[in-house]
Structure 1
Amino acid sequence: MTGSGRTRQGRAGSFPPRFEEALLSVRDTPRPRGLVLEEVPGPGRMAPFTAALTAETVQTVNEVPVGSGRFVILYDPSGQRAWHSDFRMVAMVRARLDEELHADPLLSSAAWSWLTDSLADARAGYHALVGTVTRVLSETFGGLDLSDACGHAEIRASWSPNTPDLGPHLTAWYELILVASGHEPARVRPLSLAGTPR
């Protein structure tokens, strides 16, 4: 993830050192197999500086990715009271679920634990975590007949990182997409994280 035309800037070509440090930490984060990534424009009204990334699983059902998501970095040099920080991470993950799991009454708490476990596994220090888990039933109609129906879980969350090193947070998001999609955790760790508690 870079600032070349994809990151909203206060002045053309101008990035605060802390934000540039954060972008470099994300750029250097190892990427797991099984995901197709795309850098996209960050939201323009949430902070003076933003960056964003989307991902989809290589695995599909009926040509639709089993899992997908969006990862957003917000930076306000002045900080924002609600963030308790100058940085804020915003993440969304949507994953297709089998019928049994979608009907499980414990799905919401389990899905939230996928997020918190992913952050813990990646040693991503954070605070002020908030979010929601939503069950979605999608029905696709062909003419007048129901041709496909499936359940999804949507995990939406935001949190404030403890440092500008955002690599562990990106790793946690990768892992969350894969776990929610029924895969084993990616277990991708930058070498600089080895043995270093967050």
Structure 2
Amino acid sequence: MTDSRARTPDRAGADLPARFEEALLSLRAAARPRGLVLDEVPAPRGLAPFAAALTAETTETQAGTPLASGRFVVLHDPGGQAAWDGDFRLVIMARARVDAEVGTDPVLGAAAWSWLSEALDHQGAGHRALVGTVTRVLSETFGGLELTDACAHAEVRASWSPISPDLGPHLAAWYELLHVAAGHEPEQATALLLTGLSR
């Protein structure tokens, strides 16, 4: 029997709380972005009675590695949790490669955090209790004793409580964060509208 505590969107059923099912359906209804490959993955266990998760990465790559990638997790506890200030919590991660020079810039952390806060505002994703961290990692590759390559990554990890089960705007904000982290304009996250074609 499948553990109902870790349901993914394609397994929504009658045994799920109505509010959680509503939230999952709002994710399905959200417009799919350009330039991102999405995948449903097993949700983390033990954080909430019900959970679902998605991953994404940019189709654009550098040296075979996506410019940005991340994870979007929906947590739901019908009884609510005091730390959440509600019955839903969203947990996201976005990771992007940046120039080594940018990676050492002291304002990178504040800039990367603004990518998220501005994306939430831009998409009209009502939220409260937003917290998170920005981490920078500098990687150096050596061939023998000589440095052959150096790159830096910026990683944003955050969580917040949505004000309603309509999670579409929050998913769109995460899409926007990934694109901005990859060096694209926010508008790149807007879905491509094709006239004459049904969804």
Q: TM-score range by the shorter chain?
A: 0.7 to 0.9
CA–CA separation in structure 1 for the residues paired with 2:156 and 2:96: 9
TM-score, structure 2 normalization: 0.86
CA deviations on 1:57-97 (whole Å, 9 max, x unpaired) are: 11111111110000000000000110001000000000011
Is contact 2:119–2:173 with CA below 8 Å preserved after alignment? Answer: yes
Partner residue in 2 for 1:153: 154
Deviations 1:135-176, CA, capped at 9 Å, x for gaps: 111223456554322001000000000000000000000000
What are structure 2's unaligned runs of at least 5 residues?
A: 192-199
Runs (4+) of structure 1 exceeding 6 A deviation are: 4-7
- Calculate the aligned-residue CA RMSD, in Å: 2.2
Q: 1:8 aligned to 1, 6, 11, which one?
A: 6
Deviation at 1:6?
Answer: 9.7
Distance 1:6 1:67, change over 3 A: farther
Aligned to 1:51: 52
2: CA distance between counterparts of 1:154 and 1:93? 6
Relative to structure 1, the CA distance from residue 146 to residue 6 in structure 2 (aligned partners, 3 Å threshold; closer, same or farther) is farther
Q: Give the direction of change, closer, same or farther, for the CA distance of 1:5–1:28 in structure 2 (3 Å limit).
A: farther
Change in CA separation of 1:44 and 1:32 when aligned onto 2, cut-off 3 Å: same
Q: Among the aligned pairs, what percent are the same residue? A: 64
Cα pair 1:7 1:41 within 8 Å, conserved:
no
1:32-43 map, 5 Å: 32-43=33-44
CA contact (8 A) 2:57 2:66 kept: yes
Q: Equivalents in 1 of 2:142, 2:76: separation in Å?
A: 42
AA in 2 matched with 1:166 = L
How is 1:15-164 mapped onto 2 (pairs within 5 angstroms)?
A: 15-142=16-143, 145-164=146-165
| TM-score (normalised: structure 1) | 0.87
